[in-house]
Amino acid sequence: MALSTDDVRHVAKLARLALSDDEVEALRSQLSDILAYAEKVGEVVAADVPPTSHAYALSNVMRADEPTPSLSAQDALSTAPQAEDGRFQVPQIVGGE
């Protein structure tokens, strides 16, 4: 599957990766090659084969509703690149949900 530059930019935006024009072009060609290879899976006739998420099928793995100690705020924030007033700081958020 040959990807276009637009395809690459679109996917980069979905993945929050800022790419230079050179990177976009390099990726366009590499991704096209890789996907062309990966597309071989399409040669397999498998319409009525169920997809496998896990080879060893477990189910109903659940835990009791019992609290355990949380991290202290200090520990929780110990890795924060930027923090203020006990919270994680980020630049302004554009585009709400």
- In this complex, which beta carbon is closest to another protein, that of residue 25 or of residue 33? 33
Question: In whole angstroms, how close is the CB of 4 to another protein at the nearest point?
Answer: 12
Measured CA to CA, the distance from residue 25 to residue 1 in angstroms comes to 15
Question: In whole angstroms, how close is the CB of 74 to another protein at the nearest point?
Answer: 9
Measured CA to CA, the distance from residue 11 to residue 4 in angstroms comes to 11
- In this complex, which beta carbon is closest to another protein, that of residue 21 or of residue 63? 63
Tally of CB atoms within 10 A around 5: 12
- In this complex, which beta carbon is closest to another protein, that of residue 5 or of residue 73? 73
3-state secondary structure of 6: helix
Measured CA to CA, the distance from residue 28 to residue 10 in angstroms comes to 12
Question: In whole angstroms, how close is the CB of 21 to another protein at the nearest point?
Answer: 13
Measured CA to CA, the distance from residue 30 to residue 14 in angstroms comes to 18
Question: In whole angstroms, how close is the CB of 27 to another protein at the nearest point?
Answer: 6
- In this complex, which beta carbon is closest to another protein, that of residue 21 or of residue 81? 81
